[in-house]
Structure 1
């Protein structure tokens, strides 16, 4: 991902949230998400990053972005561990089921394994059955950890998934 991708990534994230989390997070929060503000947040994160977070984009044949993923060191509170973490994986709703998410997940997992990371973690909304099936198909399993994620003043439960990586 480059700074030039920020606008499309911002739109993918906002559309992805509105599609995936409908009925799971407050509607007012989803309706209030702003693509331009999200694009600026993405641009600022890239500019201020220390290189530990990697943002990947999948490009469609027509040159538009078909998906976005971000990963880096696993964060246990404020401490970074020796494991990897998938921070985000979003697609435009019309791209779901076309293999884009699987391709991004394969690339992220492969890069983490090539870096010698023993495991990869991710957090997913507990009620997000579609995403949970996707991650389970990619070899992730819930490890029993659960935490609330505050969205628009509402605590939404997340569950942690883990996958062992082959170096």
Structure 2
């Protein structure tokens, strides 16, 4: 199933989803960040290790974190998003943050990312957050176009990010949720 008419169901992630979410996340990094991060770093990413880390997160209190998955009509997980309180260093603020959003690359353009972002925005608005922020790699043109279409705009903040000694700058996007 692909194309704009694809139907997805967004639900909260369960422990059983960890392997599939990790595969989508790792393959997403390896695809989206090719040429933006050192290739040996991307090649060394391991979905099994990521899944183990993700399972350990389920054992801890969520601290406001919400993990969502999108599944297709057959029940296969095809995307993942995570949101929660905005992190300003170690402090949490009253704003919301979209920590992550990844879609199975074979499903790009099918509305999965739009469904996940929409549900995250809806939940954060319902929780009373005034705005939602996110960080995206400056060079990730595809993601930046996606966030622009989803109503987010760069707010001028930039943050250094380093991977294996290579600078990979991030830019912050913001979207008002109230009013």
Question: Within 5 A, what are the aligned runs for 1:49-60?
Answer: 49-60=61-72
- 1:164 aligns to 2:176 (yes or no): yes
**What is the CA RMSD across the aligned residues, in angstroms?**
1.0
What corresponds to 1:66 in structure 2?
Answer: 78
- 1:137 aligns to 2:155 (yes or no): no
Question: Within 5 A, what are the aligned runs for 1:1-167?
Answer: 1-166=13-178
SS where residue 52 of structure 1 aligns?
coil
Instruction: Kindly state the Cα deviation for residue 60 of structure 1 after the two structures are TM-superposed.
Output: 1.1
Distance in structure 2 (CA, Å) of the matches to 1:130 and 1:122: 15
TM-score by length of 2: 0.90
Instruction: Kindly state the Cα deviation for residue 149 of structure 1 after the two structures are TM-superposed.
Output: 1.4
SS where residue 48 of structure 1 aligns?
coil
Q: Which runs of 4+ in 1 moved over 4 A?
A: none
Distance in structure 2 (CA, Å) of the matches to 1:156 and 1:37: 23
Instruction: Kindly state the Cα deviation for residue 62 of structure 1 after the two structures are TM-superposed.
Output: 1.7
Unaligned runs of 5+ in 1: none
Distance in structure 2 (CA, Å) of the matches to 1:134 and 1:50: 27
TM-score by length of 1: 0.97
Q: 1:34-76 CA deviation, whole Å, 9 max, x = no partner? A: 0100110111112113341110000111221110000000001
Q: 1:98-155 CA deviation, whole Å, 9 max, x = no partner? A: 1000000000000000001000000000000110010011111101100111223322
| Count of aligned pairs | 167
Unaligned runs of 5+ in 2: 1-12
